[in-house]
Amino acid sequence: MISSFLRDRSGNMAVLFATAFSLSGVIGAIAVDAAALYHERRVIQSTVDLAAISAARNPERAEEIAAEVLTEAGFADQAGLVVTVGRFDADATRAPEDRFVPNGIPANAVKVQFERPGTLHFAASFTQSPMVGATGLATVTPEVSFSLGSRLASLNGGIANALLGTLLGTTVSLSVADYNGLAAVRVDALSFLNALALEMGLEAGSYDDLLATEAHAGDIAAALASLVTGAQKTALTTLANAGNGNSVPLGKLFDLGRYGSLALDSAGAVLNARLSALEILSAAAALADGDKQIWLSLGGNLPGIAALSVELSIGEPPQGGGWFAIGPVDTVVRTAQVRLRIDAQFLGGLVLQGAVIRLPLWLDLAHAEARVAGATCPDRDHPNGTADIAVLPGALELAVGKVTNAQMRDFGAALPVTPVRILDALLLQISASAHVEVAQTTPVLLEFSSSDIGTARLKTAKTTTLVSSLGQSLLGDLKLEISVLGLGLSPLNVIANALKTAITPIVAPLDSIVNTLLTTLGLGIGEADVRVYGVRCLNPVLVG
C-alpha cells in the first residue's frame, strides 16, 4: 500500500504548492519581523540623536533631558538608557573614537546610548527577541562675544576733542562730563547696526552686506543718538549735525561671524552684547582714514615747555583685525598700530647758555591681539558661561630721534634709532640718543567668570616689563654726546646734569599727553583691555 502511494503521481502539484506556500509564509513572517526591527532601530536612532542634541545644550541636566526625549517618543521603559557627559575635541590627528573623552572637563558633549529588546510579530513563539539599540553623540561649540581696546578712564576733554575731531573729520566739542556719560551709557550691538543701516538708507540685506560698506562718522553718531536719551543724546546729535565726517570701514569695526548672514533688523537680542557708546565712537575714530597723519599743537600751557607738537599715524589693522567679534575658539581681534612723533621745545638754563633745546621723540605701539582660548557653555551654576582670552599687548618702543613723514606711514619698516642734535648753540652742541622697549612675547591669559561676563567687566593684560613712566625711563636711558667749542664753559658732567635737569619738567606732561592720546583710541602702554559680553551655545551638532 505504501509502495503504491509512493508510485502515485496524481495531485503532486497540489502537494508542492502547499509546501511552497507554507515556506513562503515562513519567509514572509521573517521578512516582516526583519523590516519591523529595522524600522524600530531607525526610530531609536532618531530619538537618541534628538536626545543627544537636546542634552548637549545643557550637559548639567543631560540624563534628565535625554529621559524626557525618550518618554515623549514613546519609550517608557528606559532600563537600557546610558548618558555620558564629557568633552569632544575635533582634532583631526586623533582617531574618531578617541575624540570624545568621558567626564572630560570642561564638558561640551553628551553621548546617549539606548537599547531594548526588539519587537517580533511572528518569530516570538520560537525565538528570543534580539536587542535593538543606537548611539548618538552631540557637541556644542561655545561662541564668545568680546572686544579689545576699550580704555575710557581719565579722558582729557581738550586733547580728546582735538584727536577725535581730526580722526572723525568733524568738530568735536565734548566736555569731560559728556565723555563720562557716553562711556557709561550702553547700546545693544545689533540694535546699533540696525539703526546705522536706517541712517544709511539700507532697508534690506544682511548684516554682512552692511559691514561690507563704509559709514560716515556723522551716520555713526546719529545712529548712537537714536538709541540713547538725555545729555548723551544731545551730545551725539550735536556731533552728528557737525557734518558727515570721514568714512569708517564697518567690516573692521564688527566681526559677527556666522551671525552676519542674518537679515537686517531680524536678529533681536541674539548677541546679548551691550556696548559703550564711547567705545563705539572711539573705535570708529581709530579706523577712520587709517592712513591719515594727524598734527596736534599741545604746547603753550604746559609748565616748562615752550612748544609741544604731536603727529600721529594710525595703520590699518592686520588681517583678522577688528574691535568687536563673536565666534568660537581661535576667533581673534586686533587693534591698529599707532605711531607718535613728538617735538618738545624748552629753554636751557645759564649753564646751557639759555639756548633752545629741541627734543624730538617717536613712539611706536604695535597692534595688540586677543584670541578666544577657551569657553564653557552657560549652566545652572554659571548662567553666563565662562571664557578664557589669550591677550598679547602691543609691543612699544620710545626713542629720541627724528623720523620723516614717509617713515611715519611705512608701518612695515622699523623706525631709526640714531643720535640726534638737540642743542646747537654758538659754543655748545649736544646730541642725544635713548631707546625704551616694552614687549610681551607670550600671551597673557585672562579668565572671565560668569559674574565677569554678566557685568561686562573690563580686564587688563599687562606686560611683565612694567614701565611706570615712559618719560622717566627715557631719561634714565639718555646718552649724551657733548661738544664744547669754546673756553669758559662748565665741565661736561655739569653740562650733562644741567641738561637732564632741564628735561625733567617735561616728563610728567609727556606721560600725560601720550597716555591721553592712546586712551582716546582705547589703547594703553604695555597693556590691553578686554571685555567679554556673552557666551552662546545654541546650535549643538551630531558628531557620532
Greater pLDDT, 91 or 455: 455
Greater pLDDT, 459 or 89: 459
Which of 18-22, 47-51, 121-125, 381-385 is the least confident region?
18-22
Answer whether 143's CB lies under 8 Å from 257's CB. Answer: yes
Whether residue 85 has pLDDT greater than 80: yes
To the nearest 10 degrees (0 to 180), the angle between helices 217-225 and 277-287 is: 170
Q: Which three cell numbers stand for residue 282?
A: 572711539
pLDDT value of position 344: 83
Whether residue 2 has pLDDT greater than 70: no
Greater pLDDT, 423 or 269: 423
Q: Which of 337, 324, 237 is nearest to 274 (CA)?
A: 324
Which of 22-31, 92-101, 317-326 is the least confident region?
22-31
Please give the mean pLDDT across all residues of the chain: 82
pLDDT value of position 150: 64
Greater pLDDT, 539 or 138: 138
Alpha-carbon gap, residue 356 to 391, rounded angstroms:
43
Greater pLDDT, 12 or 240: 240
pLDDT value of position 289: 62
List, for residues 123-158, the tens digit of each pLDDT value. 766 677 788 889 999 998 888 999 987 665 445 556
Whether residue 331 has pLDDT greater than 60: yes
pLDDT value of position 5: 60
pLDDT value of position 178: 84
Whether residue 511 has pLDDT greater than 60: yes
Range 73-77 average pLDDT: 89
pLDDT value of position 292: 61
Q: Which three cell numbers stand for residue 348?
A: 636751557
pLDDT value of position 320: 57
Burial track 383-416 (b if 16+ CB lie within 10 A, e otherwise): ebbbbbbbbbbbbbbbbbbbbeeebbeebeeebe
Alpha-carbon gap, residue 248 to 213, rounded angstroms:
9
CA-angle at 51, arms to 46 and 53, nearest 5°: 95
List, for residues 23-60, the tens digit of each pLDDT value. 665 666 666 767 777 888 899 999 999 999 999 888 88
Range 515-531 average pLDDT: 81
What amino acid is encoded at 145 in this protein? S
pLDDT value of position 389: 95
User: What is the 8-class DSSP label of residue 437?
Assistant: E
Greater pLDDT, 90 or 543: 543
pLDDT value of position 105: 78
Answer whether 245's CB lies under 8 Å from 150's CB. Answer: no
Q: In whole angstroms, what separates CA 320 from the centre of its chain?
A: 10
Q: Percent of the chain, pLDDT > 90? A: 19
Taking the CA atoms of 57, 61, 67 and 73 in sequence, report the sign of the dihedral they define. negative
Range 359-376 average pLDDT: 88
Whether residue 268 has pLDDT greater than 70: no
Is 326 exposed, middle or buried, given 0-12, 13-18 or 19+ CB atoms closer than 10 A? Answer: buried
How far lies 396's CA from each of 441, 458, 527, in Å? 12, 22, 10
Q: Which three cell numbers stand for residue 198?
A: 536706517
List, for residues 101-119, the tens digit of each pLDDT value. 999 877 889 999 999 988 8
Answer whether 285's CB lies under 8 Å from 217's CB. Answer: yes
List, for residues 302-314, the tens digit of each pLDDT value. 666 777 788 888 8
